Amino acid sequence: MIEEKITDMNIGGVVIFTKSLFIFLLLDVYLKGSYAVNSMEVEQHLEMGKKLLAAGQLAEALQHYHSAVDGDPNNYLTYFRRATVFLAMGKSKSALPDLTKVIELKPDFTAARIQRANVLLKQGKLDDAEKDFKSVIERGPNDEALSQLNAIAELRRDISEAYMYFEHGQLPTAVDILGRVIEKCPWDPSLHETRAECYIQMGEYYKAISDIRPTTSLRSDNRPAFYKMSDLYYKLGEAEESLIQIRECLKLDPDDKQCQPHYKKVKKLVKQINAAQEAKVNGQYDECLNKAKQFMKTEPNEEFYQLKGQGYLCHCNAKGGHIQEALRICNRLLNKNPENVEALMDRAEAYLASEKWEEAINDFQKALNMEEGNRRAQEGLNKAQKLLKQSQKKDYYKILGVKRTARKKEILKAYRKLAAKWHPDKYDGDDKAKAEKMFIDIAAAKEVLTDPEKRQKFDNGEDPLDPEQQQHGGGGPFWHEGFNPFGGGGFKFKFNFN
């Protein structure tokens, strides 16, 4: 290789460099300049991270600490500060590698070792935490490390006792002890899982769910936890929430052998329940009955869904006019749960349709006692009381001998038949006064029941022909609004059967 000569005219002499040496010197200058720039940028990122951390803007602070670590990967302080942000964000898993890196770069950094030991302690890794605390004490007295070592010894005893009580079925005691342990080791999933199992066996499903939920982030790909929460919500009757949890399982693995069949079952049940509810709201009572029977068949084993289905059958039979079936199902439902307010009101309405006014009043009153201010119960009670009062006076349906559900055609047919019998001019009997009274009642019944507005008032417990309920009288209950069954007077009038 032929070496080139380079002359430095400023020095006044001739300086000979090899080409490779010259390139090395240039590279050295470049790197020193680059390091100076990077060092300055790192300091800026650290300063911005510090300010943002103080302001509580953790995500923004973390971005600056990421940049600081990338700019100076051998600076233990940048890792330590980033670990601090991770911990503030509750990301202990991310903080732990940074704290370990700090200790690798600076083994005598006591603050980092104590911080790591505390994270390990909260994760329930007592042996590893103990090693770090002992390492701190070996370098010199440290009150925090000593206190935590004593706490670890106590935690081991508590954990041993908790599992012993759990295995012997002394669940409340196990739960109490586990509560103390979890306060010190909140990031240990096994402790939460054990306490959740205690709650499940005690029948306290919501508390069990509260313990299972954090394990979904404490363990990677924790599909069993999502399945268990879904199953518990399902047993509690919260099918919609059950569906949400099982979908989280399938996000991790769409073919999970445990979650996939459960998902199909819950999805089907939710669809059927929603269909029953929609039919109920829209007044499609036969459809409501069909859908309720479907979801009761889909889930025949869980009592909650059987009771829910009976609730739909009770309501939709009552509203759909299947009175005897409604009473049968509502009675069965209320025998199991006497405080079911909806079932009480549904049965009350079935009693109304059966003209059992006092029974209806009793059920509506019970519902009001349970839920003060319940509008449906209050309106039902008012109606039942009016109908009871009305039944003690005059019942137009009974006068014509028709059902309360009779159509206008049936009412007119009954009216014509009775009017022909009791027409005062055509009556063959001796008691003309009785014929007159019967004809007046028959005419009044026809007047009310063939007029939709008046019939609605009567059905709500108000007699539209009662003079006490009218604002103007004049000759008795039938001489209002131009109604006079006798025309000009006496019995001499042309009888009209229409």
* 97-106 per-position pLDDT tens digit: 999 999 999 9
Which H or E run contains 301?
none
Average pLDDT over residues 181-189: 96
Q: Band of the pLDDT at 17, cuts 50, 70, 90? A: very low
| pLDDT of 255 strictly over 70 | yes
Burial group, residue 312, by CB count within 10 angstroms (0-12, 13-18, 19+): buried
pLDDT given for residue 170 in this prediction: 97
| pLDDT of 493 strictly over 90 | no
Burial group, residue 484, by CB count within 10 angstroms (0-12, 13-18, 19+): middle
Phi, psi of 56 (to 5 degrees): 80, 10
Average pLDDT over residues 430-443: 82
Average pLDDT over residues 196-224: 96
Residue 42 · residue 78 · CB < 8 Å: yes
Tokens linked to 57 = 């803007």
| pLDDT of 160 strictly over 50 | yes
DSSP code at position 469: G
Residue type, 45: H
State how far the Cα of 204 lies from the Cα of 241, in Å rounded to an integer: 17
Among residues 55, 107, 114, the alpha carbon closest in space to that of 83 is found at 114
Average pLDDT, the chain: 85
| pLDDT of 299 strictly over 50 | yes
State how far the Cα of 493 lies from the Cα of 486, in Å rounded to an integer: 7
Q: Band of the pLDDT at 43, cuts 50, 70, 90? A: confident
DSSP string, 63-76: HHHHHHHHH-TT-H
pLDDT given for residue 31 in this prediction: 38
pTM: 0.70
| pLDDT of 198 strictly over 90 | yes
| pLDDT of 50 strictly over 80 | yes
Among residues 274, 212, 273, 272, the alpha carbon closest in space to that of 248 is found at 212
State how far the Cα of 276 lies from the Cα of 226, in Å rounded to an integer: 28
| pLDDT of 11 strictly over 90 | no
Phi, psi of 289 (to 5 degrees): -65, -40
Alpha-helix residue ranges (DSSP H) falling in 141-204? 143-167, 171-184, 189-202
Among residues 379, 312, 313, the alpha carbon closest in space to that of 352 is found at 379
Q: Band of the pLDDT at 461, cuts 50, 70, 90? A: confident
Torsion 402-406-409-410 (CA) sign: negative
Average pLDDT over residues 390-401: 82
The distance in angstroms from the start CA to the end CA of the chain is 131
Q: Band of the pLDDT at 468, cuts 50, 70, 90? A: low
Query: Which residues are within 8 A (CB) of 420 and not within 5 positions of it... i.e. 6 or more apart?
Result: 426, 497
Among 1-10, 252-261, 418-427, 428-437, where is mean pLDDT lowest? 1-10
Domain positions in the chain are 408-498
DSSP code at position 484: -
Torsion 92-93-94-97 (CA) sign: positive
DSSP string, 253-297: -TT-TTHHHHHHHHHHHHHHHHHHHHHHHTT-HHHHHHHHHHHHH
State how far the Cα of 72 lies from the Cα of 269, in Å rounded to an integer: 57
Q: Band of the pLDDT at 201, cuts 50, 70, 90? A: very high
DSSP code at position 407: -
| pLDDT of 96 strictly over 90 | yes
| pLDDT of 469 strictly over 80 | no
State how far the Cα of 285 lies from the Cα of 312, in Å rounded to an integer: 9
Residue 344 · residue 331 · CB < 8 Å: no
Site of tokens 């036969």 = 286
Count CB-CB contacts under 10 A for residue 88: 14
pLDDT given for residue 27 in this prediction: 38
Average pLDDT over residues 177-203: 97
Question: What digits encode the pLDDT tens for the residues 327-368?
Answer: 999 999 999 999 999 999 999 999 999 889 999 999 999 999
Site of tokens 């759909």 = 320
Tokens linked to 342 = 């909806």
Site of tokens 């199992």 = 197
pLDDT given for residue 470 in this prediction: 53
CA angle 155, 116, 45 (to 5 degrees): 150
Tokens linked to 125 = 């890794």
| pLDDT of 204 strictly over 90 | yes
Q: Band of the pLDDT at 399, cuts 50, 70, 90? A: confident
Which H or E run contains 336?
helix 323-336
Tokens linked to 305 = 């869904």
State how far the Cα of 294 lies from the Cα of 329, in Å rounded to an integer: 16
Q: Band of the pLDDT at 181, cuts 50, 70, 90? A: very high
Architecture of domain 408-498: Orthogonal Bundle (1.10)
Tokens linked to 142 = 């440290």
State how far the Cα of 223 lies from the Cα of 257, in Å rounded to an integer: 11
Q: Percentage of the chain with pLDDT > 70?
A: 86
Which H or E run contains 38?
helix 19-54
Residue type, 190: S
Which H or E run contains 426?
none
| pLDDT of 434 strictly over 90 | no
